[in-house]
Amino acid sequence: MFGGEGGLDLKVLATYPFLPEASRYIREEGPPLEEVLEHRAFGNSRHLAKEKVFSSLESGELPELPMSSPPECLAALYAYPLARILVSCVGDPFLIRRFSLAEASLARRRFSREDPAFLMQLSQALRLDSSIDGSYRLHFSDFLEATKRLRGKEWKLINHPVQSGYVILSREKFLRVLEGHLRNRFEEELPLEVNEFLLEAFWEDVAKLREMLQERKSNLQSTDLGRITVANFPPCTQGLLATVLASENVPHQGRFALVSFLNNLGLGFEEIYRIFASVPDFRESVTRYQIEHITGRISGTEYTSPECSTMKSYGLCPGPDSLCQRITHPLGYYRLKTRTMSRRSETGSMAKAPTPPEE
């Protein structure tokens, strides 16, 4: 579709280096990897690759690359696989997420400059079942897959026209969907397998990136520590806990949500068991089994507590308060509120606490 002859095609490949045609070009027409990693001619590619990775971590925004001549296009084209190798050498999940997001959003900026027909060619090259007919049409399963991280009601399938398997989208939304698709794909593909040779070629940058990541983590953990404060629970789990303590019946999904939530906050089997044991009519063996199961004592799998959309589907969300608007997961609420509260107490202000969760 974007065959390899002529400068224009090379520019397309350099602009969209994640297309299957781009990797085929590199595989079949490019020099061997050792040469790209070591030869002076590819110094510019290596430089651009590092710049991509560092800026994805620092600002989340990737620079536009010059592509006015064939050598510049080649440099830009090779920067993409090299950056992926560097990310894989570090192998950190946070870096993978940041890099994938940044690459996908760069792609969206570039897509937005293309005309509809060419955009359609690109989306079909990405194996998306799409067509154009006044508006953009995309198979609903591709839409669901691409938008699985987007949680506003404007992204729910039900709030779109759907006809004979296809979702009808505006151009703006279609571009966002392409971005979502790429982001998921990049995250799934990384990390690539790396060997000693690659690690050695990038050792200096790998060390630097690891240091930056470590610094970020220690900052985060110092706010995460400290004991659990029930006042910082979101309305849903706070309500569930209150119900359990009042020895009223909590549906199965509700118990699962509460136990996994407490477990994710760092409470162990014994501590959670004690909360439930205070309930007068508590059924010893059943409760023990459930908690052991959820905290991973039996199955070896520790469960993550359900996200907001799941809580809503199960009817466990009592209705969001103002803080809920900013999160998609009950654990996010806890973290956010804990951070806000500790910042308040640090500044010593007597400002009012955030709106208390509604009953």
Enumerate binding residues for other proteins (CB under 8 A).
129, 139-142, 144-145, 148, 153-154, 156-166, 168, 299-301, 309-310, 312-313
3-state secondary structure of 286: helix
Q: From the CB of 269, what's the least distance to other proteins, in Å?
A: 19
Smaller CB distance to other proteins: residue 53 or 317?
A: 317
Residue type, 287: T
C-alpha 226/C-alpha 75 separation (Å) is 49
Smaller CB distance to other proteins: residue 68 or 164?
A: 164
Q: From the CB of 253, what's the least distance to other proteins, in Å?
A: 9
Q: Are 176 and 208 in contact (CB under 8 A)?
A: no
3-state secondary structure of 321: coil
Q: Of 191, 218, 192, which Cα lies nearest the Cα of 95?
A: 191
Smaller CB distance to other proteins: residue 124 or 163?
A: 163
Alpha carbon of 69 to those of 21, 23, 115: distances in Å? 20, 20, 23
Smaller CB distance to other proteins: residue 71 or 161?
A: 161
CA 69, 75, 79 angle in degrees (round to 5)? 145
Q: From the CB of 100, what's the least distance to other proteins, in Å?
A: 18
Q: From the CB of 329, what's the least distance to other proteins, in Å?
A: 12
**Which tokens belong to 356?**
């208390």
Smaller CB distance to other proteins: residue 23 or 310?
A: 310
Q: From the CB of 180, what's the least distance to other proteins, in Å?
A: 12
C-alpha 214/C-alpha 220 separation (Å) is 10
